[in-house]
Structures are given as structure tokens and as C-alpha cells.
Amino acid sequence: MAGRHESWRQARADHWNQFRAVPLKRLWVFMAAVFFLFSIIGPFSDMFLDNGVMPYAVVLALAFCCGVNVVLWVLVLARLPKAFLFILIVMQFFISNIFAALANWMIRTFNLQAVAPQAGVHFASIETMAAVALSYGFFVAYIRREGVETFRLENELKLAHGIQKTLVPPIALHSSCFDVYGISYPSEKVGGDLVDALHLPNGDAIAYLADIAGHGLQAGILMGMLKTAVRTALLDAGERSPERTLPVLLDRLNTVLPEVKEPQMYATFTGFRLGCDGSVYYAIAASPPILQWHAAEQRSSHTDEAQFPLGLVPVPKFDGEALRTEPGDLLVVATDGILEVAGKSGEEYGVERLKDVIASNAKDALPELAGKVLSAVRAFGRQFDDQTILLVRRL
């Protein structure tokens, strides 16, 4: 439930930030459309409240003030601090008194006379039609301009989606003792989850899963940088003792990431070094637990460790541990996008349900098993975050 609420809050924050990020050179067209649309309140008041006797200059002044009032709302929401919103709300309680005082001042100062009702209604009608026509024109111009911008962004997102497929394709790796499979489905066209596997020169293999906080283009960019950094840092991994490979990798990533990301962003990480002798060493950085299916005992267990995420705070050093496996055992790592999917009751999918799916399909080929896990999760609830799973089977 917490994960779904966090996704909703993040989505609302993203939409708010996008609106506030619209340049004024694009926003002014929208403000002009809003100005003319709400300016019709002035002539409307003259026609239906004063029977058309209000002096023409007063009608135009009230129309102008009504339009400016709404434009102020747009400016406060789009640019100014939230304190101005409170001031604007308070002002609305006195707006009618302000307009009445303005009208009386204009009438006294310029000695304005009431007009004939028929002529006043005719003038107010023409002003209303003109304001509506101008508002329509500006709205069309704004929509057309935003449509062009949206089309450009859509093309860029398609390009980014293609890059995403290149960076995070389904992975399948086979070594002398292990089979590895991983797949990732972003919640948007570009995601922040990463699953990868590679052979080391000595015959061992590395398989890992990482999750960048958030999703979308920003997380996708950092994900691509993380993959490059991991593969670069592992160039000399074959020369290092197996138990130190992953801790050294995490130490390096935690040193590099703060320099290339936004302060609030971070990454979680789970990695395995899979030895050609059947040994397994793992390291965790704030990731969900590692699930293990024990084939001989027909039971599941999970391994969890309290570690800091990568790139958020300085950490003296990361630790790694050995993990005992037997032939037929399965190791499963899933991101929060799977474990925190919420059902209709608000309950999260969780580790235990994932264990049940693994236990029921433990002998399936790894791609089929991954598909069944994802199908079960999607049947349980709606996807709000990137969904990624890594499977390792001891042969």
C-alpha cells in the first residue's frame, strides 16, 4: 500500500513540476486565453445583475480585472511560492467589494452616466462574443504549439525507449554450474531498473539487479550510467578473490555515483558472483530480500541484510557473504515494482506470495518461471513502478 501511495505522490509531484517548468514564452499564450475567457464575467454582470445600465468604461474595466484575477492564479500556481496562494485565496473573499469600489470610483471621477438598458445589453453581448472568440483563438494557438512540443517529446521518448531496450534487454547466461535469466518491464517508456549478467575471464559469472529511485527519463539516464560503471569496474574482477568482488564493486559505485546524479537519487543493488565450482557470493545494498528455493528440501527461505543504498550517504565499506546452494536450487531477486504491487484491498503482493509462485513452478525453464511470476503480479494489482526479476538456478 505504501508503494502505491508513494507512486501516486510521485506522479502528482511530477505533473506539478512539469507545469511549473513550462517556459513563460509558452505559458503567456495560455494566460491570454484564460484572460479573455474569464473577462466575460464583467459584461455578464452588467447584463444579468445591472440590466445593462453600467457605463461602457466600467464594463470594460471589470472585464479586465476579472481576466487579471484569473491570470494571477495561473502565475501563482506556475511560478510563485505557495505563500502567494494563501494571499490570493483571501483576496477572493473581498473581490466583489473591490470591483464595486472600482466601479464607484470610476463613475465619480470621470462623471460617467448610466446607459440605456437595450444599448448596454447590446454592448455587453458584443464584448462577450469578442472575448470568447479571442479566447478560442489563443487556446487553439496554445494547443497547437503544445501539440508540436508533445510530438517532439514523444519522438525523443521513442528514441529513449529504443535505448532502454538496448541497455536492458532480457538476459540469459549459461555457465558450467548456473543458468541465469532476467527481464525488466518499465512502468513508463523509460525505466530505472537494471538487470545484467556477464562472464568473467576465469569462467565465473556476475549477475546483478539494480533499481534507481524513481522512474522515467531521469532514472533511465542514471541507470545507463550505472550499467557502464558496473561493467567498467568489473574488468579486473577475475583477478580478485571471489568474496571481495562485489563489496569492492559497491564501494566504487558509492564513490562515483554522488558526482553524477541529483542529490535525492540513489540506487539499490543485489549482485551474485557465481563460481565455476558452484560457489555463490552475494552483496546487497538496500535491496529487497534474496529468495532461495531449496530443491532437495522443497522449501523456500530468504536472505535480507540492512545495508545503505548506493550514492546517498558515505559508507565505510560494503560487505559480501557466501551463500550455500545445492543442485536444483533457485535464487530469485525482484524489485519493489513487483513486491509492492497492491491489490484491491490495499494489501501488497509481498514476499510470501512470490515464494508460493516460485514453489509451484520451480522446475520450469527460467523464462517461463519469470513469465508466470509477472502474470501473477499483474493479475494481483496494477503496475505503478518498474518490474524487474532476476533468476539464478544451480545446475
Domain boundaries, the chain: 2-161, 168-394
Residue with more model confidence, 72 or 221: 72
Residue 227's contacts (CB-CB under 8 Å, 6 or more residues apart) are 167, 168, 194, 196
Residue 57 above 80 pLDDT?
Answer: yes
Q: What's the farthest any 2 CA atoms get from each other in the chain?
A: 101
AA letter at 85 = L
* Spatial distance between the Cα atoms of 163 and 196, rounded to a whole number of angstroms: 15
From residue 198, how far is each of 278, 365, 367 by CA, in Å?
16, 20, 18
Q: Work out the average pLDDT over 335-339.
A: 95
* Spatial distance between the Cα atoms of 217 and 190, rounded to a whole number of angstroms: 6
Residue with more model confidence, 15 or 346: 346
Residue 151 burial (CB < 10 Å; 0-12/13-18/19+)? Answer: exposed
Side-by-side strand order, sheet with 321-322: 193-199, 205-212, 267-274, 280-285, 321-322
Residue 102 above 70 pLDDT?
Answer: yes
| Main-chain dihedrals φ then ψ at residue 330, nearest 5 degrees | -120, 140
Residue-wise pLDDT for 21-48, tens only, equals 667 777 889 899 999 999 999 999 999 8
Whole-number mean pLDDT of the chain? 88
Residue with more model confidence, 281 or 14: 281
pLDDT given for residue 307 in this prediction? 85
Residue 160 above 70 pLDDT?
Answer: no
* Spatial distance between the Cα atoms of 286 and 288, rounded to a whole number of angstroms: 7
Which of 129-143, 202-216, 361-375 is predicted with the least confidence, judged by mean pLDDT?
Answer: 202-216
Which residues is 387 bridged to in the sheet? 185
Residue 61 above 50 pLDDT?
Answer: yes
**Global confidence as pTM:** 0.68
Residue-wise pLDDT for 178-206, tens only, equals 999 999 998 876 778 999 999 998 899 99
Residue 116 above 90 pLDDT?
Answer: yes
* Spatial distance between the Cα atoms of 372 and 302, rounded to a whole number of angstroms: 20
Check the CA dihedral 371-373-377-383 and report its sign: negative
Residue 272 above 60 pLDDT?
Answer: yes
Can you tell me which residue has the cell 505533473? Answer: 15
pLDDT given for residue 218 in this prediction? 80
Residue with more model confidence, 262 or 136: 136
Question: Which of 44-53, 136-145, 171-180, 225-234 holds the top average pLDDT?
Answer: 171-180
Q: Which CATH number fits domain 168-394: 3.30.2290.10, 3.60.40.10, 3.50.7.10, 3.20.20.150?
A: 3.60.40.10
Q: Work out the average pLDDT over 79-85.
A: 81
pLDDT given for residue 16 in this prediction? 59
pLDDT given for residue 309 in this prediction? 93
Residue 216 above 80 pLDDT?
Answer: no
Residue 392 above 90 pLDDT?
Answer: yes
AA letter at 172 = A
pLDDT given for residue 9 in this prediction? 62
pLDDT given for residue 134 in this prediction? 95
For residues 132 and 54, the answer to whether their CB atoms sit within 8 Å is no
Question: Interhelix angle for 56-78 vs 82-92, to 10°?
Answer: 150
* Spatial distance between the Cα atoms of 196 and 218, rounded to a whole number of angstroms: 20
Percentage of the chain modeled with pLDDT above 70:
91
* Spatial distance between the Cα atoms of 221 and 168, rounded to a whole number of angstroms: 12
* Spatial distance between the Cα atoms of 183 and 155, rounded to a whole number of angstroms: 25
pLDDT given for residue 5 in this prediction? 52
pLDDT given for residue 63 in this prediction? 94
**Where would I find the H helices in the chain?**
2-20, 24-39, 41-49, 56-78, 82-92, 95-110, 117-167, 217-233, 242-256, 336-339, 350-360, 366-380
For residues 46 and 120, the answer to whether their CB atoms sit within 8 Å is yes
Residue with more model confidence, 306 or 378: 378
The 8-class DSSP code of residue 286 comes to S
pLDDT given for residue 3 in this prediction? 45
pLDDT given for residue 188 in this prediction? 72
Residue 147 burial (CB < 10 Å; 0-12/13-18/19+)? Answer: exposed
